[in-house]
Structures are given as structure tokens and as C-alpha cells.
């Protein structure tokens, strides 16, 4: 009788994180058919259609459960989405523990893999005598910052943004303090304290699974792996995990693809800010003018402005985003560009031969999707760790251009126009395209049977399987 290896996954109520950890789960059960996964999902409301579609597309060897929604009615109605997520996680911990305990009792768990935003789960593994891992859905560069954040906190006295010299993170290229993640921009704030506390819990992990491949961040991953004797958990580079096909296809997706079919090869700039990112009204206006002035073909997924720069419910469509465009923009760019409201199938769009560039927010899912399709980038970070990702892409890998921001925090139309033309038809764009092509080939190789990521994931899966056999 074949012994099944049972893994529990603990996600967070953030669509981009959920997508990533589910792609990891799908890859795991695809490579190892004797592995079964149960995904535990804390929630603070009914799952949106996009989230439901993710779960509907899963293979039978991945089960899931949505925990009872957490009541957030005591919070102010305009609470930032990131705070809503953190409070949901905190209040859901007893439910998560009970779910893990029940799973372990009914079907012996060999490992718990929790998202990097929910390190509070790591001690549960020790209590249940089960291995605990963190799934880190971003870069090894960010992971290095997290693991060394307490050390930096003790050696740097001022605000990071006020440093005159770049910050030196072990194994990484130097980075200016202003490009560090949002919680580090105010060291007196609650978010900074929570950032440090969460990072300390990483040291409780039996291993950290990074959604990247060794060759893309070789220097950083090597540096982390060499520090294992000093207490840093074993780091496994097992990506890139990206969606291979869309979970949702509607009339707007069909319209996009038909429009792209009529365009020349590599002639269209795709503009999107991820599953929920958006711009201020003034910046939407400048971006529209920059696209128009560049005279380059474009496909723009447009959302209405939001004061937080992110739409909490990606399924909500409460406003007409076209109302925020300059007067006459759609008419003047008709046939030259296509603007799609709210959502489009990014997987199919990036795979289309007409796409020659991607102006994106540098979210890690979107970044990896660009890499596996060989699409050069314009880096336009919005929040979280996206500025760090932009530094990696522009200064280290050199597969992206980053527009300059003026003193008011706005990227002006002339700057946008210049960067777009440089990427799409300029000489620098040609060199970036060549480097991205090389990076794409290496990413493909990493996922082959003998590739670095597949070999690493298989070693981990065999370790888990040996534990199952020991229990049998």
C-alpha cells in the first residue's frame, strides 16, 4: 500500500500571495504524485470570484478549507488593507491551530508550510511535533533583509530614508534607504515593530522556500546558505512559480487577445499594476499623456484611483475608471491603444507575441511572469517591497528601466514618454531585451527535470516522504 505524504499549507487573505503558494502546491503534487496538500485559508469576508476561480482550478490532490470569516466591524471603515490583513491573521490564529491539530490527528502531517506574512504559525509545528517551513513569495534579497533586520536596527541610528550612503544587506547589492519596504520608512511606527518581530520568527523555521531560482539571485542565496551554521534556516530556491493559464476568461480577455492578434510582433507595451495596484488621479493623467506622446502601441489595464494605492477587493467594480482619463484620450488613441477596465488575463497577454514591453509595479508574481516570457520591463513600484524589486531588476539584473519621480512624487509625462520609447525602440531597450531573453532561458532550465529548482524541491519532497514512511 502506497504511503501518502500529507502537507498543510497556511495562506493569507492576499490574492497575490494566495496565487503564489497555490502554484507551489500544484508544482509539488505534479512532481510527486504521492503527496497530498491541504490549504488552510483565513478570511475576513466572502472570497471574491477570482479567489474562487483559483481553488476551482486545483487538482484533486490539493484540498482546501476556508476558515470562518474574521469579524472586522470594530475597525474604522477606511482602515488600510494591509492592517486589515494583519488583524485578520492575528485573530485567526486559534482557528488555524485547531485546523492543523485536527488535520494532524486525522491524517498524519509531516510538514506545515505557512506564508511569509504569517510567521506566527511556525511555533505550531513545534507544538504538534511537525516540521514547519515558511513559503517566501518574494526575492532572496528581501529575505536577506528580513533575516538581518535586527542587526541593521542595532547598527543604524537614524531613519533609513535619511541615510547618505546605501544600506549594505548581506549578499545583496547596496540599496538606498528610500527603496526599503514601507514598514522601514518610519522606525517609530507600529508597522516597523511588527516587521522586526515577524522577522525574528523566521528563525523558528526548519527551512524557507523562496519563489525564485538559484541562478537569478545566486550571490544572495549562496550568502544565506553559507550562514546556516549561525542559525539561519536552510534556504530552498524552488521557483519560479507562475500561473500557466488564467483561471478566468471573459469578454474583456477575448477582446484583448483579438486586438493583440492584429498588432506587429513585440510592438505593444502592456501596462498593469498587478491584481490590485492603482495610481492617484494626477498620476493616471500623466501616464495617459506619456503613453499618448510616446506614439507606441499600448494595452493598459486601468483601475480608478485609491488613496491607499491598492484596491482591497479585486472583485469590486464600483467606479468607471475611464472617467479619470484626460478628455478625449480614448478617442485620440483609438486603434493605437486599448484600455481595459479593472482586470485582464495577464498570463495570456504576456505570452502573446505582440507584447514587447511591460510597465509594471514590480510585484513579484508579475515580475516572474515577465521573466518566464522574456518581456523587458519598465519598473514602476508602488508599495510593500516593490522598490527593492525595482532595484534588483534595474541595478543588478539590468532587465528594466525605472522612470524618475519628481519632488512631488509624480512621474511626469515627458519622463514616461522617454522611458517608453527607450525600452520599445531605443538601443538600451535592445540590450535589455537580450538580457531578459537570457534570463528567460535560465528560468526555463531551472524547472526542467534536472534543473536547479526541480532538484531542490525534489530533495525536500523526498525528505518529507521519508518522514511519512517512518510513521507508517
Q: Is the dihedral of CA 215, 217, 220, 221 positive or negative?
A: negative
Task: Tell me which of 104, 115, 253, 373 is the catalytic residue.
Answer: 115
Q: What was the pLDDT predicted at 29?
A: 96
- The single residue of 17, 104, 352, 373 carrying the catalytic annotation is 17
pLDDT at 227: 80
Domains parsed from the chain with CATH numbers: 5-239+448-471 (3.40.50.2000), 251-444 (3.40.50.2000)
User: 162 an active-site residue?
Assistant: no
Q: Smallest Cα–Cα separation from 309: which of 333, 274, 343?
A: 274
Do 400 and 390 meet the contact criterion of CB atoms below 8 Å apart? yes
Q: Which residues contact 9 (CB under 8 A, 6 or more apart)?
A: 21, 25, 37, 38, 39, 40, 112, 113, 114, 135
> How are beta strands 131-136 and 207-210 bridged, if at all?
parallel
- HSE-up (13 A, CA, CB side) for residue 287: 28
The single-letter DSSP state of residue 125 is H
* DSSP at 177: G
Residue 57 is predicted with a pLDDT of 86
List alpha helices for 165-217, DSSP H: 190-201
Kindly list the distances between the CA atom of residue 343 and the CA atoms of 54, 279, 301, in Å, as whole numbers in the listed order: 15, 15, 6
User: Helix or strand or coil: residue 1?
Assistant: coil
- Say whether 115 is catalytic: yes
Give the three cell numbers for residue 430. Answer: 535592445
Q: Which three cell numbers stand for residue 314?
A: 479585486
Phi then psi for 249, rounded to 5 degrees?
A: -140, 120
Check: CB of residue 12 under 8 Å from CB of residue 137. Answer: no
**Contact predicate 238/265, CB 8 Å:** no
Which pLDDT score is estimated for 80?
84
pLDDT value, residue 319? 86
Per residue, the 3-state secondary structure of 13-29, as one string, reads CCHHHHHHHHHHHHHHH
Q: What DSSP line would sit under 63-76, residue for residue?
A: EEEEPPPPP-TTS-
* pLDDT tens-place values along the chain, 472 residues long: 467 899 999 999 999 999 999 999 999 999 999 999 999 999 987 777 778 888 888 999 999 999 999 999 999 988 888 899 999 999 999 999 999 999 999 989 999 999 999 999 999 999 999 999 999 999 999 999 999 999 999 999 999 999 999 999 999 999 999 999 999 999 999 999 999 999 999 999 999 999 999 999 999 999 999 986 678 999 999 999 998 766 555 556 788 999 999 999 999 999 999 888 899 999 999 999 999 999 999 999 999 997 666 665 545 567 899 999 999 999 999 989 999 999 899 999 999 999 999 999 999 999 999 999 999 999 999 999 999 999 999 999 999 999 999 999 999 999 999 999 999 999 999 999 999 999 999 999 999 999 999 999 999 999 999 988 775 5
Angstrom CA distances, 414 to 298, 358, 405, 424, 460, stand at 17, 18, 11, 15, 50
Q: Measure the CA angle with vertex 282, ends 278 and 285; round to 5°.
A: 85
Query: Distance between CA atoms of 440 and 38, rounded to whole angstroms?
Result: 32
In angstroms, how far is CA 347 from the centroid of its own chain? 14
Amino acid at each position: 500500500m502506497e504511503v501518502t505524504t500529507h502537507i498543510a499549507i497556511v495562506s493569507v487573505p492576499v490574492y497575490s500571495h494566495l496565487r503564489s503558494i497555490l502554484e507551489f502546491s500544484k508544482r509539488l503534487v505534479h512532481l510527486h504524485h504521492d503527496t497530498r496538500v491541504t490549504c488552510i485559508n483565513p478570511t475576513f469576508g466572502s472570497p471574491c470570484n477570482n479567489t474562487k476561480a483559483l481553488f476551482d482550478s486545483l487538482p484533486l490532490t490539493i484540498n482546501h478549507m476556508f476558515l470562518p470569516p474574521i469579524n472586522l466591524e470594530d475597525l474604522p471603515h477606511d482602515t488600510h488593507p494591509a492592517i486589515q490583513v494583519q488583524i485578520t491573521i492575528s485573530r485567526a490564529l486559534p482557528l488555524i491551530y485547531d485546523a492543523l491539530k485536527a488535520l494532524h490527528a486525522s491524517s498524519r502531517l509531516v510538514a506545515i508550510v505557512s506564508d511569509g506574512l504569517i510567521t506566527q504559525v511556525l511555533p505550531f509545528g513545534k507544538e504538534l511535533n511537525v516540521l514547519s517551513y515558511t513559503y517566501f513569495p518574494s526575492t532572496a534579497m528581501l529575505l536577506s533583509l528580513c533575516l538581518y533586520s535586527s542587526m541593521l536596527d542595532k547598527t543604524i541610528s537614524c531613519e533609513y530614508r535619511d541615510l547618505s550612503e546605501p544600506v549594505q544587506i548581506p549578499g545583496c547589492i547596496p540599496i538606498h534607504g528610500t527603496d526599503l519596504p514601507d514598514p522601514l520608512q518610519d522606525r517609530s511606527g507600529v508597522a516597523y515593530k511588527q516587521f522586526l518581530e515577524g522577522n525574528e520568527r523566521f528563525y523558528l523555521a526548519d527551512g524557507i522556500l523562496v519563489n525564485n531560482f538559484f541562478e537569478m539571485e545566486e550571490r544572495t542565496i549562496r550568502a544565506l546558505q553559507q550562514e546556516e551554521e549561525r542559525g539561519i534556516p536552510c534556504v530552498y530556491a524552488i521557483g519560479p512559480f507562475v500561473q500557466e493559464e488564467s483561471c478566468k476568461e471573459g469578454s474583456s480577455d477575448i477582446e484583448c487577445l483579438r486586438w493583440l492578434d492584429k498588432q506587429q510582433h513585440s510592438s505593444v507595451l502592456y501596462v498593469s499594476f498587478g491584481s490590485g495596484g492603482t495610481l492617484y488621479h494626477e498620476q493616471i493623467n500623466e501616464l495617459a499623456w506619456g503613453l499618448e506622446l510616446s506614439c507606441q502601441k499600448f494595452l493598459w489595464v486601468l483601475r480608478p484611483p485609491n488613496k491607499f494605492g491598492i484596491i482591497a477587493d479585486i472583485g469590486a467594480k464600483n467606479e468607471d475608471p475611464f472617467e479619470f482619463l484626460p478628455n478625449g484620450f480614448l478617442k485620440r488613441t483609438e486603434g493605437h491603444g486599448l484600455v481595459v477596465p479593472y482586470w485582464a488575463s495577464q498570463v495570456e497577454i504576456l505570452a502573446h507575441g505582440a507584447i514587447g514591453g511591460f510597465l509594471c509595479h514590480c510585484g513579484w508574481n508579475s515580475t516572474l511572469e515577465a521573466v518566464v516570457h522574456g518581456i523587458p520591463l519598465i519598473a514602476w513600484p508602488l508599495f510593500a517591497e516593490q522598490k527593492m524589486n525595482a532595484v534588483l531588476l534595474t541595478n543588478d539584473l539590468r532587465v528594466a528601466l525605472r522612470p524618475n519621480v519628481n519632488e512631488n512624487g509624480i512621474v511626469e509625462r515627458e519622463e514616461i514618454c522617454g522611458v517608453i520609447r527607450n525600452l520599445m525602440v531605443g538601443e538600451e531597450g535592445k540590450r535589455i531585451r537580450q538580457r531578459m531573453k537570457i534570463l528567460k532561458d535560465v528560468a526555463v532550465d531551472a524547472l526542467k527535470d534536472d534543473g536547479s529548482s526541480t532538484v531542490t524541491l525534489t530533495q525536500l519532497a523526498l525528505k518529507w516522504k521519508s518522514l511519512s514512511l517512518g510513521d507508517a
